[in-house]
Structure 1
């Protein structure tokens, strides 16, 4: 197993929580940040899953099943 720093787990934790749709304010509080912008700027990453979910959510908002269909 690759050796990782504790700080790396914070990045992973924040990314996974945001990826599964957790509220960014909740993630920010879990990490102990005073401002949600710190969490979003420094600890979150736009993954392919987040991009796909965003596209599906927008498609659903327009009343379509999926952009892929």
Structure 2
């Protein structure tokens, strides 16, 4: 069953029971991603990792020429 089909079934049940309709799929995606990002940032501090710029730093290390390599 797809997400859309489940949503339509839940909406139908809610209407029949007189309950409020559930939120549409994808309604709270931004909030979930923001909470996940904040949680990762929080966990980085006690672990002693930098909070900002971790991806850029890793990419810079990966793309930068290594000493002694022929390029």
Same fold (TM over 0.5): no
TM value normalised by structure 2: 0.30
TM value normalised by structure 1: 0.30
